[in-house]
Amino acid sequence: MHDVVVTWEEGKQICVELGGMMVVPQSEEELQHIINMCSCQAWPWFWIGCNDIQTEGTWVCLDGEIFDVQDEMWSDSEPNNSNNEDCAVGVGSGWFDWQCDRTSKSICQRHASPAQQLM
């Protein structure tokens, strides 16, 4: 977890430089776990390594996973692509789509083991 707030692209780059990948939570539990672990309740918004830049409505993640807009990961009434939002952020209630050039915190995970997720 980086206390600096960055754009989605910058967050992705930071994680690569650290030898990891921007986090992609695999479940609701994992999302909550990350929020608890990072004690970011005061600012529970962080970038998730998925976007629909290429094809609107098709969410492609850095680990190759693909989500669609029906997926239960999303918060109620998200993603809404309001003003062309193409990058995913996580909060307690689920995922939101957000504009990629807005700034948020960034959480990285290591490639090696899904169990060993780090800030």
* Binding region for Ca ion (CB under 5 A): 52, 56, 78, 80-82, 85-86, 96-97
Residue with the two structure tokens 């169990």: 115
Q: CB-wise, 13 or 75, nearer to Ca ion? A: 75
Q: CB-wise, 56 or 101, nearer to Ca ion? A: 56
Residue with the two structure tokens 């995913």: 88
Least Cβ distance, residue 117 to Ca ion (angstroms):
25
Here the tokens at position 55 are: 């094809």
Least Cβ distance, residue 76 to Ca ion (angstroms):
11
Q: CB-wise, 67 or 96, nearer to Ca ion? A: 96
Q: How many CB atoms lie within 10 A of CB 114?
A: 12
Q: CB-wise, 22 or 119, nearer to Ca ion? A: 22
Contact at 8 Å (CB) between 90 and 34? yes
Q: How far apart are CA 81 and CA 78, in angstroms?
A: 8
Least Cβ distance, residue 105 to Ca ion (angstroms):
17
